[in-house]
Amino acid sequence: MLRASFLYLSHRRGLQRFVTRQRLTAALAYRFVAGDRLDDAVRVVTDLNRHGFTASLDHLGENVNEEKAARAAADDYLAAFERIATDRLNANVSVKLTQLGLDISSDLCRDLLTRILQRAQQLDNFVRIDMEGSAYTQRTLELVLELHREYPNCGVVLQSYLYRTIDDVGRVNAARVRVRLVKGAYDEPASVAFPKKVDVDAKFEAEMQQLLLEGSYPAIATHDDRLIEATRRFARARNIAPDRFEFQMLYGIRRDLQDRLLREGYRVRIYVPYGTEWYPYLMRRLAERPANLLFIVRSLIRERRAA
C-alpha cells in the first residue's frame, strides 16, 4: 500500500517542485545521492575507489520531454566520462533512455546513446542502460541488442519482478550482453509482474543462477542478505570464481554489507547518483523501505526540541 503510494507520488511533477524545496526531504535525499554536481560524485567515487569499490555514476534525470534537455543530459554523460578518465576513477556510467529523449523520439535517443557509447569505447569504458517501467522494456532491450553489435561496451538491466525476464535472460545471454539483475523498482500491474515478493525473490534466484552459468560478467544487484548468500553458495558450488561476476548496491544503502562482501574478496560496485533531479529516485527508495521516512520524523522532533 505504502509502496504503491510512493511510486504514484514519484510521477507527480507539482509535488516534486514542493518537495525538492524542503530542507528535510533534501537532507533525506542526500543520504542516497552524492550531491548536486559532478564534483560531488567524483569526491564520493574517489573515496569508494580508495576503499576498493568500483562505481557507476548516474546523473539523475528521467522522462525528459524536451529535446534540449535530452541533448544536455547526453553532454553531461560525456563530461562524466572525461572526468572519469582525467581523474583515473574506476567507474562507468548508468543511463536511462527516457533521459535521452526516448519519450520524444526513438531516433533522437539512439543518436544520443550512440554518441555516449562511441566516446565510452574510445576511453575503454562501459555504459549500463538502466531499466525503467515496463512500457519501455521492449524498446530498451531492442535498442541495446542493436547497438551492442557495434558497441559491445554496453549492458542492460533486467528486473526479476517481470514475468518476461526469465526469457529475456536467455536472449541477452545468447547475445553476450552484460546484465545487471535487479528485483525492479516501479509500480507494475499483475498482468506483467509478480505481485508477491516471495515470487520475485524466487525468480531472482533462478535468473541469478542462469546468469552465473551462461551470462557475460553478470552483476547481481541487491541488498537482500538471503539472495546474496544464495549467490555466493551457488558460485562456490559451481566453481565460479569471484572475479567472474560482481555484486552491485546503491550508494547509502547497507554499507555494512558492502564492506563485508569486499572484505571477503568479492567485487562490489556502488551505484552513485548525483544531480538535482533526485525526487523520483528518492520516492523509489522510500517505496522500497518506508521506514526511511522515520528519518524525517525523527529529524522533525529533534528540530522542534532544539527550537
Ligand X SMILES: Cc1cc2nc3c(=O)[nH]c(=O)nc-3n(C[C@H](O)[C@H](O)[C@H](O)COP(=O)(O)OP(=O)(O)OC[C@H]3O[C@@H](n4cnc5c(N)ncnc54)[C@H](O)[C@@H]3O)c2cc1C
Q: Which residues are catalytic?
A: 130, 180
Please, what's the b/e burial string for 111-147 (b: 16 or more CB within 10 A of its CB; e: otherwise)?
A: ebbebbbebbbeeebbbbbbbbbbebbeebbebbbeb
Using the contact rule CB under 6 A, the part of the chain among 70-78, 79-87, 229-237, 242-250 near ligand X is 242-250
Q: How far is the CB of 4 from ligand X (least distance, A)?
A: 14
DSSP state of 195: S
Binding status of residue 271 toward ligand X by CB under 6 A: yes
Site string for ligand X, 117-156 (x = CB under 6 A): -------------xx-------------------------
- Are 219 and 180 in contact, with CB atoms under 8 Å apart? yes
Find the part of the chain contacting ligand X (CB under 6 A) among 39-47, 62-70, 102-110, 177-185. 177-185
253 binds ligand X (CB under 6 A): yes
- The Cα-based distances of 164 to 113, 171, 211, 269 in angstroms read 25, 11, 15, 26
Helix/strand number for the chain, H first, E second: 13, 8
Contact between 250 and ligand X (CB under 6 A)?
A: yes
Residue 200 CB, nearest approach to ligand X (Å): 8
Stretch that binds ligand X, among 115-123, 170-178, 231-239, 282-290 (CB under 6 A): 282-290
Give the residue among 75, 76, 141, 128 at the shortest CA–CA distance from 102: 141
Residue 260 in contact with ligand X, rule: CB under 6 A: no
Cβ-Cβ contacts under 8 Å for 23 (sequence gap 6 or more): none
Residue 3 interacting with ligand X (CB under 6 A): no
Q: Give the binding range for ligand X (CB under 6 A) out of 134-142, 167-175, 183-191, 231-239.
A: 183-191
Collect all residues with Cβ–Cβ distance below 8 Å to 241 and sequence separation of at least 6.
235
Q: Integer distance in angstroms from the first to the last C-alpha of the chain?
A: 34
The reply on whether position 12 binds ligand X by CB under 6 A is no
Alpha-helical regions (H) of 184-292: 197-214, 225-237, 255-263, 279-288
* Contacting residue, 157, 177, 181, 261, with ligand X by CB under 6 A: 157
| Cα–Cα distance measured from residue 91 to residue 259, given in angstroms and rounded to the nearest whole number | 18
Verify binding: residue 254, ligand X, rule CB under 6 A.
Answer: yes
Under the binding rule (CB under 6 A), the answer on residue 177 touching ligand X is no
| Subset of residues 221 to 240 that bind ligand X, contact rule: CB under 6 A | 221-224
Residues that bind ligand X (CB under 6 A): 130-131, 157, 159, 182-186, 221-224, 248-250, 253-254, 271, 285, 288-289, 292
